[in-house]
Amino acid sequence: MKSKSTAKAASKRITSHPSTASTNGNSPKPKKMLIGGRWVSAASGKTFPTYNPATGEIICQIPEGDRPDIDAAVRSARNAFENGPWRRMSPSDRGKTLWRLADLLEKHTEEFARLESLDNGKPLAVARGADLPLAVDLFRYMAGWCTKMLGNTIPISVPYAPGERFHAYTVREPIGVVGQIIPWNFPLLMAAWKLGPALATSCTVVLKPAEQTPLTALRLGELIQEAGIPDGVVNIITGFGETAGAALAAHPDVDKIAFTGSTEVGKIIVRAAAIDLKKVSLELGGKSPNIILADADIDSAIAGAANAIFFNHGQCCCAGSRLYIQNKHFDKVVDGIASAARKIKVGPGDRPDTEMGPLVSEEQLHRVLGYMRAGDKEGAKTVVGGGRLGDSGYFVKPTVLTNTKPGMKVMDEEIFGPVVCAIPFNQVEDILPIESDNVYGLAAAVWTRDISKAHRIASELRAGTVWVNCYNIFDSALPFGGYKQSGWGREMGAEVLDLYTQTKAVCVRL
Ligand code: NAI
Ligand code: MG
């Protein structure tokens, strides 16, 4: 289905999306990647296409970076870290630079939203209303941290040195050269989540965007230059995971690797990083429980449950894919979410009334369709949806399943599509053992009017985020990340800064 459309067809497609005349904006020319402040092709000269998932047409060609390009980018990041002005810049000036980047991104909101929608498939309105403002805010939030990377003074006793006095303090220092590998579900926002804290802590970076969605990261590279971030501080290498990604994760001169993506690849990254014990942070998959109690405001719980699974077409690591409904309201909630699913306008991201776009790629289309078939085979009942929508582009129907139980693939595995398992329960105590067997622990939600119950359940769920009477609420100040196999470390908030700094203790005899 990946149509081998001609450059002419691609450019025809593209002219319907106005943009600036930048090198890495939405223009049909082959893109370049960023190494040491220069825009370059892959050392091999190879390129690969990025597709419009609404049509399967090629948008443009992207450099296929591989080990030699990663080597050059790491050299450039190392040089910028050791010898460049970034670390020596005053914290205030570094903060102003990051703030400038946020301003530039905000100024180009429309262009970025169009590019994101084109490359990823998400509705333009979603890119404009969620991805862009969140990315802008993240850079602003991180700009503020540049001047607040505090250490402590520590009164020490040293029991074996009676009578002696010491002055001891800690300093937080940048971890160094960071490799960052990001996915395709929120391409720009994931770049912001990764770059923001790395830059605020004076690290230098080699960023590898997902091969499915490289366009906004490359365009961001131009704004990074325009904002005055020195050459070599951010290097962007496009390419595939098994080649460019693997070379970055195993590179001996990378001090830390930050990864967002599948749990399977997360484990590969850990093994690669173990060779020289580089630091690792991981934001991985999920199979998140969304629990509606009988005393909840049922209408808002239904709307929230639909948002939990259908937002971004279910391509969210925190998607509320296990919907537990207390018996009394099971039929009402299933009817409600099924009717919400029927009403969702599925279509190309650039159509103004589109509420759900295509899945990101042909691979994801087949993966999600495979889960739908597995559900059928294992005895799940499809209340609404099931299967592909249309025969061009990577569209699937928003889907609600019942009759699911642990042990079924649809119940146990991350589907990463708009497919929810609705499960009735008698009392919360029945759910908790199932959830304690959940290998994931990224997010959870509970809907209830009983404040004590809400807090009690929140304390019992082993998840990095628990939402109460809401879902998919994100903020730059709120840490996000996984318990169990959903990851290591937290993105955003003050906590992410720990992932990019190390503490030095200095002890002075007085
Ligand atoms: P993936 O984990 O393969 O890809 C994510 C990133 O890792 C991409 O940049 C990719 O190039 C890179 N990568 C892949 N293999 C690598 C390797 N061996 N070494 C270094 N980097 C590597 O995810 P994929 O294949 O795109 O999607 C598969 C499933 O992963 C999805 O169906 C979904 O369940 C899950 N996923 C989870 C995400 C999350 O936000 N937690 C995001 C994307 C996918
Ligand atoms: Mg993969």
pLDDT in tens, 61-105: 999 999 999 999 999 999 999 999 999 999 999 999 999 999 999
Convert the pLDDT of each residue in 144-162 to its tens digit.
Answer: 999 999 999 999 999 999 9
- Atom index in ligand 1 nearest the CA of residue 486 equals 41
**Closest residue by CA, ligand 1 atom 44:** 261
Please report the pLDDT score of residue 23 as a whole number.
Answer: 53
Closest residue by CA, ligand 1 atom 32? 416
The candidate with the shortest Cα–Cα distance to 52, out of 314, 317, 350, 312, is: 350
Q: Encode pLDDT of 22-68 as tens digits.
A: 555 555 689 999 999 999 999 999 999 999 999 999 999 999 999 99
pLDDT at 29: 81
pLDDT > 90 in the chain, percent: 94
Alpha-carbon gap, residue 330 to 335, rounded angstroms: 9
pLDDT in tens, 107-130: 999 999 999 999 999 999 999 999
Determine the distance separating the centroid of ligand 2 and the alpha carbon of 143, expressed in angstroms: 33
pLDDT band at 3 (very low <50, low <70, confident <90, very high): very low
SS (H, E, C) 3-17: CCCCHHHHHHHHHCC
pLDDT of residue 498: 98
Residues taking part in catalysis: 283, 317
Q: Which ligand is nearest to the CA of 417?
A: 1
Ligand 1 probe mutation, 206, 262, 283, most atoms within 8 A of CB = 262
- Ligand 1: lining residues by beta carbon, under 6 Å: 181-183, 185, 208, 210-211, 240-242, 245-246, 249, 260-262, 265, 268-269, 283-285, 317, 367, 414, 416
Predicted pLDDT at 25: 52
pLDDT of residue 70: 99
Question: Is pLDDT larger for residue 8 or for residue 192?
Answer: 192
Q: Which residue's CA is the nearest one to ligand 1's atom 19?
A: 246
Which atom belonging to ligand 1 lies closest to the Cα atom of 268? 18
Q: Which atom of ligand 1 is nearest to the CA of 266?
A: 2
By the 8 A CB rule, do 327 and 425 touch?
A: yes
Closest CA to 367 of 314, 438, 434: 314
Q: What is the arithmetic mean of pLDDT over 133-138? A: 98
Taking the model in full, what pTM does it have?
Answer: 0.95
H or E stretch at 500: helix 496-500
Task: Measure the CA–CA gap between 165 and 424, rounded to whole angstroms.
Answer: 65
pLDDT in tens, 405-446: 999 999 999 999 999 999 999 999 999 999 999 999 999 999
Q: How far is the CA of 241 from the centre of ligand 2 (A)?
A: 7
* 414/417 Cα distance (integer angstroms): 9
Kindly give the number of the ligand 1 atom that is closest to the alpha carbon of 210: 9
What does the angle CA 248 – CA 359 – CA 369 come to, to the nearest 5 degrees?
Answer: 105
The SS3 of residue 21 is coil
Question: How much is the average pLDDT of 212-239?
Answer: 98
H or E segment to which residue 47 belongs: strand 47-52
The ligand with the least distance to the CA atom of 183 is 1
Q: Could you identify the atom of ligand 1 that is nearest to the CA of residue 184?
A: 43
Q: What is the pLDDT of residue 19?
A: 34
**How many A from CA of 184 to the centre of ligand 1?**
8
Evaluate if residue 227 carries a pLDDT over 80.
yes
For the stretch 258-316, pLDDT in tens is 999 999 999 999 999 999 999 999 999 999 999 999 999 999 999 999 999 999 999 99
Digit-coded pLDDT (tens) for 338-394: 999 999 999 999 999 999 999 999 999 999 999 999 999 999 999 999 999 999 999
Q: Residue 84 in contact with residue 230, Cβ under 8 Å?
A: yes
Closest CA to 346 of 123, 508, 505: 123
> Ligand 1 test: best mutation among 265, 362, 491, most atoms within 8 Å of CB?
265
Ligand 1 centroid, distance to 176 Cα (angstroms): 24
Q: Supply the mean pLDDT for the chain.
A: 95
For atom 25 of ligand 1, the residue with the nearest CA is: 262
- Encode 75-93 in three state secondary structure: HHHHHHHHHCCCCCCCHHH
CA 211 to centroid of ligand 1, rounded, Å: 10
pLDDT tens string 448-475: 999 999 999 999 999 999 999 999 999 9
Indicate if the pLDDT at residue 482 is higher than 90: yes
* pLDDT at residue 12, as a whole number: 27
